[in-house]
Structure 1
Amino acid sequence: MTPDPGGVAPFYREVLGWEIPAEGHSMPNGSEYREIRRGSGGYAGGVLSLTSTMSDSGMQPHWVPYFHTQDVDAAVAKTQELGGQVHMPATTMEGVGRMAMVTDAQGASFYLMDPVPPPGDPNAQSDAFDAQKPGHCRWNELNTTDAGAASEFYPALLGWTLGMAMPMGPLGDYQFVEVDGVAIGAINPDLGGERPHWLPIFGVKEVEAAKAAVEATGGRVTQDLQEIPGGEFAFTATDPSGAALGLVGPKGA
Structure 2
Amino acid sequence: MPIRNEPWPEGTPTWVDLGSDDVEAAKAFYTGLFGWEYLSGGEEAGGYVLAQLDGKAVAGLGSKQDPQMPTVWTTYLAADDVDATTIKVGDAGGQIIAPPFDVMDSGRMAIASDTAGAAFGIWQAGTHIGAERYNEHGALCWNELHTRDYDAAREFYPAVFGVEFHDISGEGFVYSTFKRASDGQEVGGIHHDGQMPEGMPNYWLAWFAADDVDAGIAKAVELGATVLMPPMDSPFGRMSVIQGPQGEAFGLITLPTEQA
- Taking structure 2 as the reference length, what is the TM-score of the superposition? 0.82
Distance 1:129 1:139, change over 3 A: farther
Distance 1:100 1:137, change over 3 A: same
Matched, 1:113 2:116: no
What per-residue deviation string (whole Å, max 9, x for no partner) do you get for residues 46-81 of structure 1?
Answer: 112125xx123xx11001011111111111011011
Q: Which residue of 1 aligns with 2:137?
A: 134
What per-residue deviation string (whole Å, max 9, x for no partner) do you get for residues 185-224 of structure 1?
Answer: 2111115213111000000111111111110101111100
Please report the RMSD computed on the Cα atoms of aligned residues, expressed in angstroms. Answer: 2.2
Q: How does 1:163-242 map to 2 (within 5 A)?
A: 163-169=166-172, 173-179=174-180, 180-190=183-193, 191-193=195-197, 194-230=200-236, 232-242=237-247
Distance between the aligned counterparts of 1:15 and 1:209, measured in 2? 10
Percent identity between the aligned chains?
29
Distance between the aligned counterparts of 1:128 and 1:79, measured in 2? 27
Indicate if the aligned counterparts of 1:206 and 1:250 stay in contact, CA closer than 8 A.
Answer: no
What per-residue deviation string (whole Å, max 9, x for no partner) do you get for residues 127-179 of structure 1?
Answer: 4573x32222111110112011101111111121202322353xx62111122
Distance between the aligned counterparts of 1:129 and 1:85, measured in 2? 31
Q: Which residue of 2 aligns with 1:35?
A: 50
Q: Which residue of 1 aligns with 2:13?
A: none
Q: Which residue of 2 aligns with 1:45?
A: 59
User: Helix, strand or coil for the counterpart of 1:105?
Assistant: coil
Q: How does 1:79-94 map to 2 (within 5 A)?
A: 79-94=89-104
C-alpha deviation, 1:19, in angstroms: 2.2
- Structure 1 stretches of 5 or more lacking a match? 119-124
Distance between the aligned counterparts of 1:168 and 1:159, measured in 2? 28
Matched, 1:63 2:73: yes
User: Helix, strand or coil for the counterpart of 1:64?
Assistant: strand
Moved over 3 A (4+): 23-28, 125-130
User: Helix, strand or coil for the counterpart of 2:178?
Assistant: strand
- Taking structure 1 as the reference length, what is the TM-score of the superposition? 0.84
**Amino acid paired to 2:50:** E
Indicate if the aligned counterparts of 1:128 and 1:136 stay in contact, CA closer than 8 A.
Answer: no
User: Helix, strand or coil for the counterpart of 1:76?
Assistant: helix
Instruction: Count how many residue pairs are aligned between Structure 1 and Structure 2.
Output: 233
**Amino acid paired to 1:247:** L
Distance between the aligned counterparts of 1:200 and 1:240, measured in 2? 16
C-alpha deviation, 1:116, in angstroms: 0.8
Distance between the aligned counterparts of 2:247 and 2:38, measured in 1? 17
Q: Which of 243, 250, 253 is residue 248 of structure 2 equivalent to?
A: 243
**Amino acid paired to 2:107:** G
